[in-house]
Structures are given as structure tokens and as C-alpha cells.
Structure 1
């Protein structure tokens, strides 16, 4: 995908099972590799500047024209480019999702450069034993050159949901935000950009924070967005070093899926300790009990849940279990929000009584 079978193909191949429907999965896997390659050599950015033929693009990108033409032909068939005679230009899909501030290219690259190599080395072991020999994050500590690509990938994925999440959170103008496991810092930065009185602290593995520092500096918010390296399960989240500082809102985004139930109970109790009375917690993740009319959301959650097991030894938890952890930590009035713009992504909230 995004190759979409026509009606005849759906009836003959998928419904009738008269030809191997698995070919669409092969197309999807190679489309991902091809998009990453095209982005790496600059095809999408070049065409965002102006349309061009394969020969023109080859000169601009220092590529072999015949091979580049084959690549562009496939990208056009896959829906990433449009073609007018011999001239290629970006499709609406690519204009929306592969160039500019909303680009998901770094998300594709993260899967290609980081997830797939780790998966190839560990998936069978996890299937047989139930857990990876080391988590993706421990593996990244041994491959520090890939941390930036990882955080950039997470950041790209965040661009899809940051606005609807912050719309739903409804921050006040002067709250202090604790971004637990915030890595790239994009959520904390966006909160500060929306609300001039908000200040935020991003707490994560020290090696994961370089991108957050860079992003905060680029946004000219390094006076309001601070970073602090910490172990989320053992270190004080409320300032550390004996600091009694507390926060009004805690973001726990895409964290609980990588931990055991006992670890999540401990983490959320630590989050509660870091909040002022009446403070709020916002948990964003993929919940195993996702339902509703969007089959894509259900499939994504099933796949992502399994990938969390391979990458982290984790899983996608049902909302009810997350709500139980929040209750055990002292949070009340828990509720859930699902986001159609990001199929499979959900939010759980609660406040301290």
C-alpha cells in the first residue's frame, strides 16, 4: 500500500482467492524500501521545487537516468508520484505526507534503518522465548549513531497527532508540563508554542535527549523547555536531586507499551508523586481493545502490539488495564479518547483527587 486494488481485483483476488492476495503485502514492503531510497536521494524534495522528467531529475540528483526512471515509474504506480507524459510531479499523498513540516519520511527511515535490522536479528528468538535478549533501547545504547534517526522517526510520527492531542488536553496558559519519556521533545515544544506561559521538562534516557535539545533551540524555546536525563523507573521524576518541584500536567506518551504491568504501576505512581494536587496525567498509546468502524486501526494495533513484543518485550494493553493503573496511582475521573487522524492511537486521562 498505498496501492489500492480495483473492484475486479478485490473480487477476483481477495474475495474469490483466485490469485495470491499476498502479493499486496510484497508490494507494501517494497514500497516502503523504495520510498526511503527515493527520499534519501532527494526525489520528493526535488519534485516539490518543480516537476521534471527522469532525465532532468537525474541531472539534479546525480543519478543514472534510466534507473531513476524505473524508480519513478514504480512510485507513480504506487501513488506517490503523478505522471504527465514524461514529466513527474508529486501526488497529493506525497505533498501531504512526504514533504514539509508534516513529512513522515523520517518515520519510514526509522523502520528501514533501525526496526527492520533489529527485527531480523531478534524476532524468531522472541517468538520462541517470549522476550528479546535485549530491548531496542538497550541495542541503541550499543549503536548510539542510530539514536538520532530513532528520535527523528518518533518525531515524524508525532506530527500526525500532536495537534489533536493538544486540542484534547486543553492546557491552561501557565501550567508546568512534565513530558515523561518525551525524547524528541516535540509535544513539550508544541505545548509551549501554543501557550506562552507554559513551561516543560522532558525526562528521558540521556542518549535520547540530543534531538530535544536541538529542537528546543531551533524553536527558540530552550528557556522554557528543559531536558533531564533519568531512568524512568528508578529516578525521581519531580525534579530530582532533592528538588521538591512539582508539575501540573504529565505527558506519558508511547511509554507504557514497553513496560510490564508492575513497571507501569510503579511509573504512574512516580508520575503522581511529581504532580501538584489536582494535577493531570495524559497517557497516549495504542490500546489492545481498539474497536470501531476503522479496520485499519484494529490491524495496526494488532501489528504494533506484536512489534512491541519483539522490540521491547512489551505489548499493547487494553484501556481498562491502563485505567486500573491510573486508579492505583491515585488518579480519578479517567477517560479515553480515540483519534481518527491517527488510526489506533488513543489517549487516557485522569487527575489527582
Structure 2
């Protein structure tokens, strides 16, 4: 993106690496936030002046932003008219199998969070967690929920196919399940299952409509609540804890797993979906763990730490399943 020298020995220097990445990142999230990418949906080709008029923005600013998107193959430009390029068509347009615009919208919020990282590192935690930041901004919580939904589309099929649902399982609880995508997918694959998705009201704002659209309103229900503070119920055969534990402290997770164990029927399972920390520093895990520290003051956890939670709750680790992505399934079983 940024190129300051032709000397190959200096490639990847901080100017090119950091400044270029910052400009690309800023351009993409700004284009999503301003509606620039959506303005070209449906095969439209518009000049900078036409785009500026639609977006109520300056022509100079729109042209500068659109040119960067051309440079990174998100846009094309011909005869002064901008249109979607190959990447935008694949991931962000009405032609895309799944619209990943929510990832850019969440990127805007993450951008703001990461600006405060130096102070969070000094203090040992961020000034506010994501949920505290969003207390009076439910639209940001919705952006995050929408992002998690589109992100989950990349892995949901492998997750459902790989999870060892007990043959006699009938009731599933999806803690922090937000969009409900996993609960719906499990119910479609296992006709005997019913599911309850428990999350904060703002995270479930659009979930009921999605469940109805999928024709699963009679099998997938919603429950508003904070699973760290409110009762989660009992008599479940499967409890999903998908991409949750990295948002909480070791002690909070240990207590949560104990509550889940009490909620499970004998032979039931808890399924943790996580980017598991290993002894080796891995790029994705390290970056993700740092982002979690900036967002909530928390981190990723190792398999040994998860086993500590299982042991304290009287659960047996029955399986670790590596998926074709950065995350794994860690399954704990209640004996008896």
C-alpha cells in the first residue's frame, strides 16, 4: 500500500508497514461508515462529484478516498467513473453470497477502541469495556452482532459437522449466541433439538426476525439476560460457549463453567469455541488476544486453563477438535 523505497533490504520497514496499513484500514472503514461502498451497489458507476452529492460530502475527499480503494482493488475507475472492483464484488456487494460490510462497520468501532490501547496497557485494563462503551449506544452493539454473524458464516458448517452432539440430546442452550446462527444450524442438522439463545437485549435485536425467516420459531427461542449474573436454567444436553471466554477473566470463566455443569443433564456436553493459546506465539492468536485486552482487559486461554475449569466443575474433557480456521472446539462432558 505504501512504498517509500526500491531497496529490497528495506522492504517491510515501519513506514511502509505501519503507515500503509493505517491508511488502508482507515480508508476501508471510512468508506463503509460513509456509505461509499454501498453507493456503487447494483453495478453503478459514478463520478466523484456524483458520489459526493449522494453522500453529502466533499468532492475532493470522496475522490481521495475512492482512489485508495482503487489502489487496493476494492474499486475500479474508468473515464472518471468509479465502480466496484473484484474484492468489493466478492465480499461487499448485492452479488456477494454474504455481505461483509458489517466487518468494516465493526472495524470502525475497533479503530476507536485501539486508539486507547497505550493507556489501557499502562492501567492494566481499558477505561471501559465494550459493553460499558455501548450502554448508551445500542447501534454499536448491533454492529458488533452483525459482524459476528457474518464472521460465523465462514465456519458454521464445519462447526456443526464437527460437534459431537449426543444421540439423546434434546435441549441446547446457546450462551451469548447473539445472532442465533449456530443454534439455527444445529437445529436444522439435528431435527430432535430445540434451542434457547441467551444474550443481552441489544445483541438479540434482530435475531427473532432471522429465526422466523428460517422457519424455526417453534424450535429456537430467545432469552434476554446476562449469563454471568442471571440464572441460565437447567436440564440441558448441550451448552454452547462460542467465542465467549476471551471476554472474561479466568475466575469468571471458572464460575461460568460450574454454572453450566449444574445446568447440564448427565451425559451432556459444553462446547467451547475459541482461538486456543499455545506455547508458541502465533500471529492470529497474539493479535486477537491484544485486541481483547483493548476491548475488555481480557485475553485468550490455553487448553490447560480450560481443563482447570472443567476439573473444578466436575466435567471431563472429551475432545479437542481443530477446525480449518484459527479456532478450535473444546468439548467437556458431564459424567453420570
TM tier relative to shorter chain? 0.7 to 0.9
Match of 2:235 in 1: 246
1:82 positional shift:
4.4
**Structure 1 Cα separation of the partners of residues 30 and 51 of structure 2:** 14
SS at structure 2 position matched to 1:22: helix
**Structure 2 Cα separation of the partners of residues 193 and 59 of structure 1:** 45
Task: Provide structure 2 residue ranges, at least 5 long, that are not aligned to the other structure.
Answer: none
Match of 2:305 in 1: 321
Match of 1:177 in 2: 172
2:147 to 138, 148, 153: 153
1:84 positional shift:
6.0
Please give the residue correspondences for 1:133-152 in structure 2 after superposition, counting only pairs within 5 Å: 133-152=127-146
Kindly tell me: are residues 231 and 42 of structure 1, through their superposed partners in 2, closer, same or farther at Cα, counting changes over 3 Å?
A: closer
Cα deviation code 1:288-330 (max 9, x no counterpart): 2175xxx9xx222112212212211211111221122123323
SS at structure 1 position matched to 2:151: helix
1:14 to 11, 15, 20: 11
Match of 2:274 in 1: 285
**Structure 2 Cα separation of the partners of residues 56 and 218 of structure 1:** 39
**Structure 1 Cα separation of the partners of residues 174 and 45 of structure 2:** 44
Kindly tell me: are residues 93 and 218 of structure 1, through their superposed partners in 2, closer, same or farther at Cα, counting changes over 3 Å?
A: same
Report the number of matched residues.
330
Match of 1:104 in 2: 100
Kindly tell me: are residues 194 and 43 of structure 1, through their superposed partners in 2, closer, same or farther at Cα, counting changes over 3 Å?
A: farther
Whether 1:347 and 2:336 are equivalent positions in the alignment is: no
Match of 1:241 in 2: none
Kindly tell me: are residues 126 and 56 of structure 1, through their superposed partners in 2, closer, same or farther at Cα, counting changes over 3 Å?
A: closer
**Structure 1 Cα separation of the partners of residues 209 and 64 of structure 2:** 38
Please give the residue correspondences for 1:28-43 in structure 2 after superposition, counting only pairs within 5 Å: 28-43=21-36
**Structure 1 Cα separation of the partners of residues 75 and 320 of structure 2:** 38
1:257 positional shift:
1.0
Match of 2:316 in 1: 332
Is the 1:151–1:211 contact (alpha carbons within 8 Å) kept by the matching residues of 2?
no
Cα deviation code 1:76-116 (max 9, x no counterpart): 2113234567565544433333233533221221131x333
The worse-fitting range, judged by mean Cα deviation, of 48-57 and 100-109 is 48-57
Q: How large is the RMSD of aligned CA atoms in angstroms?
A: 3.1
Q: TM-score, length-normalised on structure 2?
A: 0.84
Task: Provide structure 1 residue ranges, at least 5 long, that are not aligned to the other structure.
Answer: 239-244
Match of 2:292 in 1: 308
Whether 1:269 and 2:269 are equivalent positions in the alignment is: no
Kindly tell me: are residues 77 and 210 of structure 1, through their superposed partners in 2, closer, same or farther at Cα, counting changes over 3 Å?
A: same
Is the 1:173–1:196 contact (alpha carbons within 8 Å) kept by the matching residues of 2?
no
